[in-house]
Structure formats: structure tokens, C-alpha cells
Structure 1
Amino acid sequence: MIYVLGFISQVLFFTRTLIQWVLSERARKVLSPTIYWVLSIVASYLFVIYGWFRNDFAILLGQLISYYIYIWNLNETGVWKRINRFLRSILVITPIIAIVFVLQNGHYFIENFFTNEKIPVWLIIFGTLGQILFSLRFVYQWLYSMSKNESLLPIGFWLISLIGSGIIAIYGILRVDPILILGQSVGFIAYTRNIVIYKKELTKRSQSEPIYNQ
């Protein structure tokens, strides 16, 4: 059942990337569609639960970093205000409750996440670094979008995605976690393709700019 929960969340993560990729291919430019952020918050919520049951600190930390950025993007696109107020409260407060629970049960947390005999400490650190890097792409996306006053997915976002995804895929292989391996492997193509589309868009834009003779 735990793997089913993780599989569903990964399917949602993959679906958001696939939809964004297809829409960008059609528009011939990198887009930041609303459905991308809707699927992100749902998938992240489920993946946090999966990470908890898997006793995986790397997954939990990675999701908590990007969770509220998903909400910011939903608010920026106007979707957040259309969600039922009670549901919004649940979405906002759940990670906070999880953090409070962790702080109140520090010994349990350390025992299950850092002294787990099944997972070497170095592997936890390696996976955590990958998750942090992978999640920082959304911090970068958020700062970039804030500067433009618009929800965007810049090229830097996809470059960080590619590197972070590679680290997490290796972590998943070492942990023999089919959910992580599947989720990260299929994203490679979409991340690479978005970078290509973005570069073509920049090239086309530069070629269309008028050249003034001195």
C-alpha cells in the first residue's frame, strides 16, 4: 500500500511534467501552465505521506522546501482563491503539524531517520543533498517569477532539475527504491527537451530583433 501511494504521487509528478512539456511543444516556447501547479501540490502532499511511511528524511525535507512555493504559484495564477477555504486550511496546516510532530518526537525521528540500520548515514546525506538541490529549483523559480511578477519556468529551473534528478536517481538505485528510480528517469527527457525549447526560443527572439547600423 505504501508503494501504491508513492507510485500515485510519482504518476502525478510525471503527468504534470508531461502536460507542461506537450503544451510547451505546441506553443514552441516554455510555458508554466496552471495544471502544473495543481498537480504539484496534490502529488507533493501524497509524497510527504509516502516519505514518512518509508522513514525517508530526504524525501520529507525535499517536499517541505517546495510545498509552499507550489501554493504561491497557485495563488499567482488565481487558482488558490477558488479552492474551498477549509481545504486551503488543510493544505497549509498539514506540513506545519508534521514539523511540530517531528520537534516533539525528536528521539523517534532520529531513531527512524538517522539511525536506521537499513539506510547508511552517508546514503541519507547523499539523498538529502539531491532532494535539496532538486527542491531548490523551485526556490529559484519562485525568486525569478517574483522578479517578473508572473509564474514562469526559466531555463535555470530545468538545468537544476536535470542535475538534481540525476543525483536522486542514483540514490534511488542505491536504496533499491523503484518509485524514485521510475519517477526521476522519465523526467530526464522532459527536462532536456525544455532546455532545448528554451534555447530555440532565445535564438528565434534574438534573430527577430532589428539590427541598427551605426
Structure 2
Amino acid sequence: MKKLSSLAACLVLLTASPLLGQDTATKTVESSSTESWSPEPGFVSLFNGKDLSGWCFRAKTARRSPQVGEITADFEGKTESDSDVRYSVQDGVITVRFPEERDRLTGQLYTVAEFPEDFVLKLQFRASVNADSGIFIRKPQLQCRDYLVAGPYKELKKYKPQDWNQIEVTVKEGVAHCTCNGEVLEESMKLPKTGPIGLEGDLGQMEYRHIQIKKLP
């Protein structure tokens, strides 16, 4: 699959999915209730709710490099990340389980698409006790954890332990403003000119859902 270079290319890729045609509702299950979800107006879903289409593994690059690596494994149509099985999909949720016997730096999950435009990214996450994870924005990492236990943002008032929380990232002119349930995590995170969105799990179990992005004018 060719590497996509823009949000428009991502839209072409994702609208090819049967879940993003006329019926855009993605079924998710939370506790005993069933929730129906579709992207907000103007947003495009980065996760179709049924498999890892549009997501991949990439080669490692030097920490100071502004670019992510080339695609090494593409998970189009797959519900698990091959033999790694760190990432799996069920009921509209990407679940990340850290395999303790493996290198912590392997298997970061990235979008195939890259995003050079200004954008707003929204997603929801749920962390097990003391879980440690991250969200990669073009390449730099925003810590996404069981914040009140694992930090670094231990003073959050609106964080809901072991429940769904919403991350919102607004990227303008190479700077990201990041919040969790409306509380500021990072005021102005500097970013490279382009890159994908990524997820990881270093400790415990992390879950992600409702991953959506909107290009800004």
C-alpha cells in the first residue's frame, strides 16, 4: 500500500470501508449497553471499529529524527497485529496489552496516512490501574496514562480512573495544544512538519476508541 500524504488521502482510504459508506455507525460495547457512534460533523474516523485497516507498524528511527520510519507491516483487514498481538480489535475498541517478554519499543501502532495540514484530533482512552501509554502526534509523544497514578499530570480534576476519557489535540503551525476532558496537558508541544498518528502501550492495558480527525482551514 502506498504511504498516504494527506488527510484527503486518508478520507479516500477510509471511505472505501463498508462501515463508512451511507451507514457510518460503528458498534461499540461498553459494559452491558451497546453504543452507536459515528464521527462528529467535519471529522473523519481513523478507526473503522472492526479491524486495523489504515494502521501499520513502522521502522524505528533515531529519537532526534523529525521523521518516522517506513512501513514494515500493514494490518489492512486484520483484527490483530500479527504475531505481536499487542494490538487487537473487538467491539469498536483497539485494545493494547503489553507483552512483558518483548522489547517495549517495538510495535508502536501508526496510521498509514500522514498529516501535514493543521488539524484537530479527538479520541477516547481507558487505562487500567497504573497503565502507561502514549499518543504520537506526527512523531512526538503525548503521555497517555492512568494519569493520577502514573503521572505526569497527577493534578487533573476531571480525569476518570478506569473509565473513558477524551483527548483532544489541536495542531496549528507546527504546535499542538493537548487536553484531557478539557484540562490542559500540553500548552504548546512542538511538532515536525508532517507525520502519522500513533498509539502505544508500555505497561498494563490500554483501550482506544472514537479516533477522529478534522482538517483545519
The TM-score, its normalising length taken from structure 1, stands at 0.26
Computing the radius of gyration over CA atoms, which structure comes out larger, 1 or 2?
1
Q: Whose strand fraction is larger, Structure 1's or Structure 2's? A: 2
More helix by share: 1
